[in-house]
Amino acid sequence: MKEILHLIRFDYLTVCGSVPVYLVCMAGAAAAGLFLTPIFAVYAVFIMFVLTVPLQKKTEQKVYGVLPVSRKNIARARLLYFWAVMFVTELITVAVGLLSVRLKLSRFVLPQDSQFVQMNAESFDMPAGEIILIGAVVFAAVGAFMLYMEMMGEIFGRENEMKILVISLGVLIALVFGFFALSANDILPMLSFEGDSTYPLVPSLIKSVIWNLAVFVLACIFGEITARVQSRREL
Amino acid sequence: MENILEIKGLCKKYDGFALRDVSFSLPRGYIMGFVGQNGSGKTTTIRSILNMAQKDSGKITVFGLDSVTDTITIKERLGVVFDSLYLAEHLNVKQIERQLKPFYKDWDSAEFARRIKEFDLPDNRPAGDFSKGMKMKLMIAVALSHKAELIILDEPTSGLDPVARDELLDILAEYIEDENRGVLFSTHITADVERIADYVTILHAGKVWFTGTKDALTERYVIIKGDAAELPQSAREKCIGFHNYRNGFEAMFPAEDAALLPDVIDTEKASIDEILVYIAKEDKHERDTASDTV
């Protein structure tokens, strides 16, 4: 476990050792979320891309052949690093969203009769539970996507990432359309997305924890699959 | 004499290339020059030692430990210098230290700072901006800071200017003053081997052609020159890389059989560079035939 934590730190320092680009994204998300509308705090999702995508380009594979670490832990740590980035970014987003609703700082920045304020008026009335849940769902979706792409890239090669993306999206779209087509013809039951719109705090928190745990489990599973494939390969 | 590195019967096959039954050992307290043409298998052997390449068969022990099952323990005590920087090029020296330090129990920050100062490496510039010589020094500083007992260098001097090469060799000579250490130094620049190596292993086409002390190698062969007509058939069969030119022949010859040669044949001591050249010539079957007479 200690080795995995060291490797996660290693990856983090590799990405943001020189210029903390992610701080710019974080500042942007905080400013947009606090002064415009809490929804804009989701802008922080870009931190995930900033802290994960350059990792492949900035890491020389040979270093893992020199470091005293197990080959399997390298893959496990990489996927857990992705999850950690997702989780921390989600916490920041939710914090910015909650502060935005509480402080309503936009009233000092934007004219209250402007069309933008009118359109986003409802967002300032969002209950805390809704903000927490939106954060969890958005980051779970983006996190799962990034974990999947990382695993597939490690298994099938970085050069095939675009192919993997196109094929995966194609399969996903086909499945969704197929499901709706079957539902429309009463072959499968129609899904109902209507739920409780009051978002009480405790159940929302529990759901949020479940979403985050689900992505954590996914990171562990993908990490294990990648580790098994990687351990048979040469560096 | 305890061996710090021992390779027995290493075999590794790739498409179009194979390491075949590679065996050699390096005793503690010595520098071994690991030489051979480009593509002879030096890097594959080093990658096998580091468990970066998975060997097909054979056994590699470092510090008496198995290179596969004890790879983590071995790497704690091993320093590596590749021909290019394996560390993140956009990071500066301090950031690189922060990255590496947690992985080594014996990491000594004071030693790292001392080496960085001694090697004149700027600590605020990205390592990618360093010259090739500075990158080599940085990798050596990393190795010395976690008290590596064995340093493996893969073509460290190729592309270095003479001053940087000289500095690197001096650093290695100083490092080996501690008799518990060892250096395996892969190169095709044989002048470096002539200067600092105690042992030499020559790899040719994936096989060990020679392994032993440097003196034993250079005493084993001589270069002979003269008129091919004067060379007895029995001696001709022992020639390595025989080549007949318009004004005479040249070949490498076993020194112990030099007494067989007539006085009209000139003999001189073979350098490691010449030995490599004649091995390559022999491989190309440059024999005394009408077709290859220049």
CB contact under 8 A, A65 and B52: yes
Q: Which of A14, A68, A232 sits opposite B72 (nearest CB)?
A: A68
Q: Is B154 in the A-facing interface, judged by CB distances under 8 Å? A: no
pLDDT at A19: 54
Query: Residue B223 gets which letter from DSSP?
Result: E
Q: Determine the Cα–Cα distance for residues B103 and B112; give it in Å rounded to an integer.
A: 15
Mean pLDDT of B182-188: 92
- Which chain B residue has its CA at the smallest distance from A16's CA? B91
Give the Cα separation of A168 and A157 in Å (integer).
15
pLDDT digits (tens, 9 = 90+) for B37-96: 888 899 999 999 999 999 999 999 999 999 999 999 999 999 999 988 999 888 999 999
Q: Rounded mean pLDDT of B130-146?
A: 92
- Please tell me the predicted confidence (pLDDT) of residue A76: 93
**For residues A222 and A216, what is the distance between their CA atoms, to the nearest angstrom?**
10
Render pLDDT for A73-109 as a digit per residue (tens, 0 to 9): 999 999 999 999 999 989 988 998 888 888 878 777 7
Q: How far is B10 from chain A (nearest CA, A)?
A: 16
Q: How near does any CA of chain A get to the CA of B178, in Å?
A: 23
- Closest Cβ–Cβ partner in B76, B85, B90 for A68: B76
pLDDT tops 70 at residue B294: no
Residue range B129-135: mean pLDDT, rounded: 91
Q: Contact B103/A58, CB-based, under 8 Å? A: no
The answer to whether B82 faces chain A, any CB pair under 8 Å, is: yes
Optimal mutation site among A21, A57, A62, A64, interface B, most CBs of chain B within 10 A: A62
Neighbours of A103 (CB within 10 A): 13
- Residue B59 has which token pair? 């056994």
Which of B75, B95, B98 has its CB closest to that of A67? B75
Residue of B nearest to A62 (CA): B86
Whole-number pLDDT of residue B290: 43
Other CB atoms within a 10 A radius of the CB of residue B150 amount to: 22
A 56-75 → B contacts, CB under 8 A:
58-60, 62-63, 65-70
The pTM (predicted TM-score) of the whole model is 0.84
Here the tokens at position B291 are 């077709």
pLDDT at B286 over 60: no
Tell me if B51 and A65 make a contact (CB, 8 A cut-off): yes
Residues of A in contact with B85 (CB under 8 A): 60
Q: Do B103 and A60 touch (CB under 8 A)?
A: no
Q: What is the ipTM of this complex?
A: 0.84
State the pLDDT at residue A192: 62
3-state SS string over B14-57? ECCEEEEEEEEEEECCCEEEEECCCCCCHHHHHHHHCCCCCCCE
Q: Are residues B73 and A68, on separate chains, in Cβ contact within 8 Å?
A: yes
Distance from CA of B75 to the nearest CA of A (A): 5
Please state the three-class secondary structure of A40-79 as a single string: HHHHHHHHHHHHHCHHHHHCCCHHHHHCCCCHHHHHHHHH
Mean predicted lDDT score pLDDT of chain B:
90
| Residue range B193-216: mean pLDDT, rounded | 93
Contact A6/B at CB under 8 A: yes
CA distance B215 to B118: 33
CA torsion B254-B255-B260-B261 (nearest 10°) is 90
What's the structural domain count of chain A?
Answer: 1
CB of A125 closer than 8 Å to CB of A106: no
Chain B partners within 8 Å of A14 (Cβ): 88, 91, 99
Domain that holds residue A117: 2-234
Cβ-based neighbours of A79, under 8 Å, separated by 6 or more: A147, A150, A151, A219, A220, A222, A223, A226
pLDDT score for B19: 94
- Nearest-CB residue to B103 (from A14, A59, A68): A68
pLDDT of residue A196: 62
Name the minimum distance, in Å, from the CA of A72 to any CA of chain B.
Answer: 12
* Phi (first) and psi of residue A102, to 5 degrees: -70, -45
Low-confidence ranges of chain A (pLDDT < 70): 17-20, 190-197
In whole angstroms, give the CA distance from residue B179 to residue B182. Answer: 8
Tokens representing residue B160 in the block: 């270095």
Angle, helix A161-184 to helix A128-156, in steps of 10 degrees: 130
Q: With contacts defined as CB-CB under 8 Å, which chain A residues touch B90?
A: 17-18, 58
Q: Strands (DSSP E) along chain A, which ranges?
A: none
* A171 at interface of B, judged by CB pairs closer than 8 A: no
